[in-house]
Chains A and B, each alone.
Chain A
Amino acid sequence: MNEFFETSLFAGVFLSLAAYELGAFLKSKFKLGIFNPLFVSITVTIIVLLAGRIDYNVYYASAKYISWLLTPATVCLAIPLYEKWALLKNNIKAVGLGLCAGTATSLTTVFVLSLLFGLSHEEYVTLLPKSITTAIGMGISEELGGYVAITVAVIVVTGVLGNMFAELICKVFRITDPVSRGLAIGCSSHAIGTAKAMELGKTEGAMSSLAIAVSGILTVILANVYAYFL
């Protein structure tokens, strides 16, 4: 199976997308949070690769073309943000303070829990950028001397969990304002969460996009300070 996969340009893409559609089908059929299409597709793809003894790198040689679109897609997040510019201007104080507080909370929570679990400095800085988008988080982890592979894994898990449970968490904690919901999702679970925010509504999506950029840049600055704490 490995040999065919290695020569195929579409096997990895097909597998990923078919698994995603399966997830979307299960979601519409059973209406359960666990059937989050992204979560289902990742799980099914991993199972198929393991069962077929296909190496991740072989899969990635095909699937990388999906990831290639990520940069242009992220650039396009400027569009909903532009469409909600007036709303953003009207709530600039709430947005600014909310995102600053959210970023500081993320770093502080990681610090306190790392202290509690007795993690080493390297493990601590690995987890510091967990709430922000992968590309920025990887850079921070590398610069501070963390384990980049773990940082990437944790960021992805955070995003997928955010994508799966954002609606539930907002409901339980009565976060009902669309602006606040967007900020909360983007600040806690970056671009993968934002994909869910886009589904919830235009305002949610726009604010979540804004949160990725702002919390990402704030984390670049603050993580350097927090790195001295442990």
Chain B
Amino acid sequence: MKYIRQVVIIIIFSFIGEVLRYLLPFPIPASIYGMVLLFVALITGAIKLDWVNEVGKYLIEIMPVMFIPAGVGLMASWGVLKPVLLPVCIITVVTLVVVMVVTGRLSQRLIRTSREKRELYE
């Protein structure tokens, strides 16, 4: 029974996400609405961690395989991609690295300065 209830709750949040996606005019997918709502429900205690934990962790663990069909979809869009391949590849790789480094280094510096400050006051 435990697993059924967990599945039901997760599907309910996915469904509410879909409803919001339908009603609101933003290009935000159902999954993001559902994620934010589940997060708020957990924080406020409306949903207990035990009610979603095992099935949730299971779904997260098998998540990588869910991207295979989208990746294989590259073979279908190869025709439109081919003419702009070189600039697109360079932009993709450069942006990936730059964004990762800027986000990581900046937040790391901020975390360290605030930690040092905290230690100074203690």
Contacts and interface: CB of A to CB of B under 8 A. Distances in A.
A66 B69 contact: yes
Interface string A12-42: 1000110110000000000000000110011
A73 B94 contact: no
Contacts of A211: 103
B72 A42 contact: yes
A77 B105 CA distance: 24
Q: Interface extent on B, as a size class?
A: 35 or more
Interface in B18-61: 18, 26-32, 34-39, 42-43, 49, 52-53, 55-57, 59-61
Which 10 A-B residue pairings sit nearest by Cβ, starting from the closest?
A139-B27, A98-B107, A135-B29, A184-B104, A102-B103, A175-B104, A94-B110, A74-B31, A42-B71, A75-B34
Nearest to A101: B106
Interface in B59-87: 59-77, 80-81, 84, 87
A209 B108 contact: no
B1 interface: no
A183 B39 contact: no
Nearest to A149: B77
Contact of A79 (B42, B71, B72, B73): B42
B95 A106 contact: yes
Interface of A: 12, 16-17, 19-20, 37-38, 41-42, 45-46, 49-50, 56-57, 59-60, 63-64, 66-67, 69-83, 85, 91, 93-95, 97-99, 101-102, 105-106, 109-110, 113-114, 117, 119, 123, 127, 130-131, 133-136, 138-140, 142-143, 147, 149-150, 152-154, 156-163, 165-166, 169-170, 173, 175-177, 179-181, 183-185, 187-189, 191-192, 194-195, 198, 205, 209, 211-213, 216-217, 220
Given A136-B29, A154-B88, A198-B61, A78 B100 contact: no
